[in-house]
Structure 1
Amino acid sequence: MTTRPTLLGYVRADALSCAEELAAATDSLVAFATAEGFTLGTVYTERDAAESAAFHALLDEVKRSEVRAVVVPTMNHLGLGNPGSTPTALRQHLEFHHTQVWAADPR
């Protein structure tokens, strides 16, 4: 039996309008991980538009573990609520730590 590599998730709840959308976004991460041959590990959920605690926790896990892949519902989830940060800048920050970033929905 082959062990599937772990993929972490990141979702900004403040980018979504209700709990159902948050559940659907998380489900899309599960579906992506399964389709691409990963096991979905922790899904970090940012709940406060003014904070980026979940992103920093995600980054800390990337730095201390062997996980080298992150999935977001859309790339916009990387930039929302992070003043001065763009999705491209935050993706590049993760890539600097040898972590590939994918969007479950590439739109």
Structure 2
Amino acid sequence: MDGCTRPLALGYIRTGVVMTADDLAAERVGLAAFALAEGYTLGAVYLEHPNTAPAAFEAMLDEVRRDNEVWAVILPAAHQVTDGGLRAMRRQLEHHGTVHLVVAAPAP
């Protein structure tokens, strides 16, 4: 990786928390802005729908397994998953390498 390349981050949004299409668009924009501000290149954003969970998380893990360039997964906010869910996600991601779980807007 050269000095100009930003580390790759994936996004993960649980749509059960996001109520409207406008809310979802705002979450995506927020992830992109956070990624840019923190020095990441934002790759795919995975949307987890309550009726198909954990399909998006599994697809994201598949990408992590395939792409050694993935450095982080960004959640828009800590309230999107429980504390136990955050720990489980962190364990799953770290099991597949040094992929960090980053929360753009931590709980107050």
Query: When the two structures are superposed, what TM-score results if normalisation uses the length of structure 2?
Result: 0.83
Mean CA deviation greater in 56-65 or 90-99: 90-99
Per-residue deviation, 1:16:
1.2
Distance 1:13 1:78, change over 3 A: same
- Deviations for 1:25-75, whole angstroms, at most 9, x for unmatched residues? 111110111001111000011123452111000001111112121101113
Structure 1 runs (4+) greater than 3 angstroms displaced: none
The amino acid across from 1:95 in the alignment is E
Which structure 1 residue ranges, 5 or more long, are not aligned?
Answer: 80-84
Which structure 2 residue ranges, 5 or more long, are not aligned?
Answer: none
Identity %: 43
Query: Which one of 14, 18, 21 corresponds to residue 20 of structure 2?
Result: 18
Distance 1:49 1:91, change over 3 A: farther
The answer to whether the 8 Å contact 1:76/1:87 transfers is no
Distance 1:64 1:78, change over 3 A: farther
CA distance in 1: counterparts of 2:22 and 2:89, whole angstroms: 26
What's the secondary structure of 1:72's corresponding residue?
Answer: strand
Which structure has greater strand proportion?
2
CA distance in 2: counterparts of 1:54 and 1:94, whole angstroms: 14
Query: CA-atom RMSD, angstroms?
Result: 1.8
The amino acid across from 2:66 in the alignment is R
Q: What residue in structure 2 maps to residue 86 of structure 1?
A: 85
Q: What residue in structure 1 maps to residue 48 of structure 2?
A: 46
